């Protein structure tokens, strides 16, 4: 049995790594062109993290991947090849990061709005199960917001597209564009499904929920994603949505995954999403949240 449990959050633009039980990750890496598809680069990155940052032997480690639900099976196979065959970790496990956002909010059910770099995903979760028939996806994410800021003629300073620490004037500009382009109005607008602002998409999805699902979720919204790393934006989004929904605070998927894995160790419960070196050698199927969504 692995003695070390390492949490790796694998997002669209960032990878975060740290030890299970810690409240914060140890290191992060940001990349420009979507999911890392370079096997050698990914191996060198993980090797450096294990030896320089974690100072942990891969051979005695279980690597828990908090996966973006849009992560392809091909990328998961690449992660398993690098982790199990080249790095030599004892086992790996895949958990949707959306579920861990719920754990970090202290609930088992809710509507997770994950505003990522390239897309925003709205996913209802009931008893830590993603109700995939009611998932909504739109291209109105952080990248879309950056694009609209760059196109805006009202740019006040050269670096106003930086969301990290804008001036007061730039912050007002950013919030205006967030409201008009990213969030939209709950009850108006005619959009294609993949280009719909967050609010009308959320309203369309929730209006089609069965009564049982509405009761289970109780209109609880959990905000997460790269844009929520900026506190002023997260506060604004929560205030914007609070007119129609109850918005819960969350520590984020990495902290949720860290907490979840510690509790699973204490309970000594089986992990249906785990794959070992032996299973990889026998060409066993890569664990998939969609196929095993009732077992997490």
Q: 264 to each of 66, 103, 287, how far by Cα in Å?
A: 15, 13, 18
196/209 Cα distance (integer angstroms): 18
Provide mean pLDDT across the span 37-58: 92
Q: How confident is the model at residue 238 (pLDDT cuts 50, 70, 90)?
A: very high
Options 3.30.499.10, 3.40.50.720, 3.40.30.10, 3.30.420.40; CATH for 107-249 is 3.30.420.40
pLDDT tens per residue, range 71-127: 888 889 999 999 999 999 999 999 999 999 999 999 999 999 999 888 999 999 999
Q: How confident is the model at residue 229 (pLDDT cuts 50, 70, 90)?
A: confident
Class in CATH terms, 4-97+254-281: alpha beta
pLDDT tens per residue, range 168-202: 778 888 888 888 888 887 766 677 767 889 988 99
Question: How many alpha carbons lie under 13 Å from residue 233 in its C-beta half-sphere?
Answer: 28
Q: What are phi and psi of 99, to 5 degrees?
A: -65, -35
User: Is residue 152 over pLDDT 60?
Assistant: yes
Q: In this predicted structure, what is the pLDDT of residue 130?
A: 92
Closest CA to 222 of 135, 113, 130, 127: 113
User: Is residue 212 over pLDDT 80?
Assistant: yes
Q: In this predicted structure, what is the pLDDT of residue 189?
A: 65
Which segments of the chain belong to CATH 3.30.420.40? 4-97+254-281, 107-249
User: Is residue 289 over pLDDT 90?
Assistant: no
Q: What are phi and psi of 112, to 5 degrees?
A: -90, 125
């Amino acid at each position: 049995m692995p003695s070390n449990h390492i949490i790796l959050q694998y997002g669209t633009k960032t990878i975060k790594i740290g030890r299970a039980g810690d409240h914060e990750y140890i290191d992060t890496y940001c990349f420009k062109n979507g999911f890392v598809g370079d096997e050698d680069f990914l191996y060198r990155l993980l090797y450096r993290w294990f030896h320089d940052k974690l100072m942990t032997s891969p051979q005695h480690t279980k690597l828990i991947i908090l996966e973006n639900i849009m992560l392809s099976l091909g990328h998961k196979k690449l992660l398993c090849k690098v982790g199990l065959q080249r790095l030599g970790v004892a086992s790996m496990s895949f958990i949707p990061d959306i579920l861990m956002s719920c754990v970090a909010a202290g609930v088992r059910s809710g509507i997770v709005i994950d505003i990522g770099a390239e897309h925003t995903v709205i996913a209802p979760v009931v008893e830590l199960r993603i109700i995939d028939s009611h998932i909504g996806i739109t291209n109105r994410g952080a990248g879309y917001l950056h694009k609209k800021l760059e196109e805006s003629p009202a740019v006040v300073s050269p670096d106003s597209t930086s969301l990290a620490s804008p001036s007061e004037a730039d912050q007002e500009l950013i919030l205006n564009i967030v409201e008009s382009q990213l969030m939209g109005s709950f009850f108006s607008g005619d959009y294609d499904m993949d280009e719909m602002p967050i609010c009308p998409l959320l309203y369309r999805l929730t209006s089609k929920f069965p009564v049982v699902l509405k009761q289970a979720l109780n209109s609880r919204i959990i905000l997460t994603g790269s844009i929520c790393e900026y506190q002023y934006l997260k506060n604004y989004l929560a205030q914007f949505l609070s007119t129609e929904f109850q918005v819960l605070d969350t520590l984020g998927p990495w902290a949720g995954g860290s907490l979840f894995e510690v509790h699973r160790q204490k309970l000594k419960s089986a992990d249906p999403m785990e794959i070992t070196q032996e299973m990889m050698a026998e060409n066993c199927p890569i664990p998939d949240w969609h196929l095993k969504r009732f077992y997490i």
